[in-house]
Homo-oligomer: A and B are copies of this chain.
């Protein structure tokens, strides 16, 4: 085991651990080879843009490591962080598959590596393996469901409730359960970015955090959050009818 070092020079589709959980899990080895041979890999620094709202897609990106944010903005400079994508996830499929322009920008939130798979390769894969198209369909459908839920939340919940919900999502995605029943998360985002995810300002975000601390819902220190009781957190946005 020590003879042949397991060193891998760069991202490799065959060894990618995340692939099993994504659209690409339906691919056979031969098909994977197509991607592996055709892809172009690149590193992005935090803040760097992968593609910009309005651009025309030439292919699809796949995140090898790091975290990418999808951000939409209007003429006056208002922005919303619509989605977070990490390791193994696909990026830019919506516009590509719909044959339209990007309607949001993608930017690296951490140092990240992403692979680019060009149009001819994707096209060949889709023709060769119809299950891949169906996978993407499901993915877009799920995203649509999430977006609809966000719309409802934005109009019916307070900033505090929306933030509690966001924290709960983070707990599910990045949280570690401690032995005493409390959860802890390393937030993947700045407070500013969290504010723009729930559609509020950094000032309101800051005040909300402070209040939740004094209420014992969560303890914040830097980007680390301790959640003593997930039940209490859930109650913030999904209040129990029965006490």
Contacts and interface: CB of A to CB of B under 8 A. Distances in A.
Interface stretch (A15-23, A71-79, A213-221): A71-79
A103 B146 CA distance: 10
Contact of A151 (B156, B199, B241): B199
Contacts of A95: 141
B141 A80 contact: no
Contact of A147 (B136, B148, B155): B148
A141 B136 CA distance: 10
Interface residues on A, range: 35 or more
A75 B151 contact: no
Interface in A111-136: 130, 133-134, 136
A156 B201 CA distance: 11
Given A137-B133, A140-B137, A94 B156 contact: no
A55 interface: no
Contacts of A97: 137-138, 141
A169 to B, nearest CB: 15
A85 interface: no
A154 B200 CA distance: 11
Interface string A41-72: 00000000000000000000000000000001
Contacts of A29: none
Given A144-B143, A156-B74, A98 B138 contact: yes
A80 B152 contact: yes
Contacts of A155: 78, 80, 154, 199-200
Nearest to A83: B148
Contacts of A239: 76
Given A98-B137, A133-B134, A80 B151 contact: yes
Interface of A: 72-76, 78, 80, 82, 94-95, 97-100, 103-104, 130, 133-134, 136-138, 140-145, 147-152, 154-156, 199-200, 238-239, 241
